[in-house]
Amino acid sequence: DQQVKQNSPSLSVQEGRISILNCDYTNSMFDYFLWYKKYPAEGPTFLISISSIKDKNEDGRFTVFLNKSAKHLSLHIVPSQPGDSAVYFCAASGINNAGNMLTFGGGTRLMVKP
């Protein structure tokens, strides 16, 4: 049973436009959410996170929105750049997760076209 799902395996966006990556979760005990970016043959790189006490967190071009009632979060990248092309993973942790262990979604491959 997948507790964190990213239903879009891929997304293609034009440079300069907004990229919106979505993530859904089922475990109501999750209270901390993160987005990671991954290039081939490298480990995931932390991008941005949000606690369940907030509904929005912004860092430069990256904004994460959390809708707890819908158990849904999204990552907005504005404006998108070709260097943003990578696989993006949504992850979640909660009070029942040992030591903040993360449960990951399956990833969304973002392609930003020049």
Instruction: Name 70's Cβ contacts closer than 8 Å, sequence gap at least 6.
Output: 24
Binding mask 1-40 for other proteins (x = CB under 8 A): ---x-x---------------------------x-x----
Cβ atoms of residues 7 and 27 within 8 Å: no
CA separation for the pair 112, 114 (Å, rounded): 7
Instruction: Name 4's Cβ contacts closer than 8 Å, sequence gap at least 6.
Output: 23, 24, 25, 26, 30, 90, 91, 92, 103, 104, 105
Shortest separation between residue 84's beta carbon and other proteins, angstroms: 19
Shortest separation between residue 54's beta carbon and other proteins, angstroms: 15
Find the binding residues for other proteins in span 55-74 (CB under 8 A): none
Tokens of 108: 């969304």
Q: Judged by CB, which is closer to other proteins: 85, or 89?
A: 89
Q: Judged by CB, which is closer to other proteins: 20, or 102?
A: 102
Site of interaction with other proteins (CB under 8 A): 4, 6, 34, 36, 41-46, 49, 89, 91, 98-107
